[in-house]
Amino acid sequence: MRYYTLELCGLKRKLPLTSISKNTKLASFSILGDVELVNKLADILAEMLKKERFDYLVGPEVKVVPLIHGVALRLGHKRFVVCRKSVKPYMVSPIILRPLPHFPRHVRQLVIDGVDAKMLKGKKVIIMDDVASTGVTIRMMRRLMEKVGAEVVKTVVVIKQGEQFDDIKDFVYLSELPVFKDK
């Protein structure tokens, strides 16, 4: 197995390269279970966002949830919202956003509890994710926020892979990972 060494927030992580097609590999980045990295990232992102005027942090399940929690905690926010990939039994009148037909097959629907949707209506939100590779999840979250009447004031990701993010307004990232092409 091949690896890529990422330096982020003064920490080094050895990331395995995983195939996404015959000639393309991505470095697999996950913050789940990495308490040291999550805490460093939460400190940096909270500092970066402390002057932003927003009501809620919003992100997709599941890998970024510890980071959103850490940032919300540091900023004194009592709640954040997680967009799920399926309807859960606890949800009341869930709002579902299905992927468009031309999206890659791996893209799943996004679902927000109707209670959260009401809470977000008319509010300013920051979308947060761990990695943006294709940008589809971010675009779907932005569209879901529009659907529930929330205003996205910033989109923040830890890692950006690729160049397809120029059209996303107020897009911020901490680091980049290359896309590896076999010759």
Q: Break the chain into its structural domains and give their ranges.
A: 35-176
pLDDT at 166: 66
Q: Please tell me the distance from the alpha carbon of residue 144 to that of residue 110, in angstroms, as a whole number.
A: 8
The answer, yes or no, to whether the previous bond of 38 is cis (omega within 30 of 0) is no
Q: Is the pLDDT of residue 165 over 80?
A: no
- The tens digit of pLDDT for each residue in 93-136 reads 999 988 777 766 667 889 999 999 999 999 999 999 999 887 88
* pLDDT mean across residues, the chain: 91
Strand partners, 84: 111
- The tens digit of pLDDT for each residue in 59-85 reads 998 899 999 999 999 999 999 999 999
| Dihedral angle, C-alpha 67, 71, 77, 82, nearest 10 ° | -30
**Confidence tier at 21 by pLDDT (50, 70, 90):** confident
pTM comes to: 0.91
| CB contact at 8 A, 109 and 98 | yes
| CATH top class, domain 35-176 | alpha beta
Q: Is the pLDDT of residue 167 over 80?
A: no
Higher pLDDT pick, 88 / 106: 88
pLDDT at 174: 95
pLDDT at 111: 94
**Confidence tier at 89 by pLDDT (50, 70, 90):** very high
Query: What is the average per-residue pLDDT within 25-33?
Result: 91
Q: Quickly list DSSP for the chain.
A: --EEEEEETTEEEEEEEEEEETTEEEE----TT-HHHHHHHHHHHHHHHTT---SEEEEESSTTHHHHHHHHHHHT-S--EEEBSS--TT-SS-EEEPPPTTS-TT---EEE-HHHHHHHTT-EEEEEEEEESSSHHHHHHHHHHHHHTPEEEEEEEEEE-SSTTTTSTTEEEEEE-PEEE--
**Confidence tier at 183 by pLDDT (50, 70, 90):** low
- Among the listed residues 57, 27, 53, the one whose alpha carbon sits nearest the alpha carbon of residue 42: 57
